[in-house]
Amino acid sequence: MCTRIFWNDNQVAKTVTRCMDWAVSDEPELWFVPRGMSRDGGAEQSPHTWVSSYSSVVLSMWGLGTSDGLNEKGLAAHALYLNPEPGMWAGADTRASVSIALWVQYVLDNFATVAEVVAAIDDVRISSKVLRGQDLGVHIAIEDASGDSAIIEPIGGELVVHHGPEFRVMANSPTMDAQLANLARYKPFGGDLPLPGDISSPDRFVRASYFLHYLPEPENVQQAVAGVFQLIHNVAVPYGAPYGDGGVYPTWWEAGADLTNGTYFFMSTRSPSLFWVSLADLKDSTEVLALNPRDETLVGDSAARFAPAELVY
């Protein structure tokens, strides 16, 4: 499944990466969403409505919602799979609701910092939604240009928040408390176990934490970006690997962001090339723009390749 890694203790640039691992392609599309967009939460009951305060570059999943993105204020958000459990989402109450498919977009549209998101955590109800016939569990990671970070997980009908710059890695199940307890069994995090080599979620969490711990200080922004992409490559799953059970699937794409300088990166695992877009080149546009990130001709600065489009979700 997926992994997120945030490098926030270097002095050059706050950079983050994540990978998308799934049984089939999520058919990603890259969108520029301007300020002033009227949105609703996509929920079946009492959907929340808002007008976007900030522009963003985001990835959609099957054209049903936003899985990842970065806004003009340097706030990034990432949705990763979490095993669904009975009662994990709050039941209907007096609050307006936002479906899991629009959770990331809601965050990027409305907030500039992690602290703002955490302060408003109970303002709306996050609700489950069946996507492509599946009842999905989701938890999100958010981080901002100051280096602040939070992991937000639905547990027992409440959103449990792990808030602070120390929360730099997220994988899939189990939940964050169990991942941290497992990490403490390994060197150099308090235990004696050596680095594991599997691709299960707990092992990926440990490996990402381990190599992030030892990343040397970058000399420039390029090295700060390259460092986190090197780490996400280390936990990515190649096509054809014989892991057909246990919820372990190949990596379809990797995305990243330089929060300090407002640049979003994407690499399809079907292409050898990385491309990127600076939000400074798009942020004042008043129309929705789109780009197919699966286009294998994309490489380098690709802001000029965006074209006007109608947002499909």
Backbone dihedral region for residue 23 (phi beyond 0: left; psi -120 to 50: alpha; all else: beta): alpha
Residue 95 CB: number of other CB atoms within 10 A? 15
Which residue's structure tokens are 């690997």? 241
Q: Which residue among 2, 12, 176, 282 is the active-site one?
A: 2
Is 2 labeled as catalytic in the residue annotation?
yes
Pairing state between β 15-21 and 251-258: antiparallel
CB contact burial 30-69 (16+ within 10 A = b; e otherwise): bbbbbbebebebbbeeebbebebbbbbbbbbbbebbbbbb
Residues annotated as catalytic (active site), given as ranges: 2
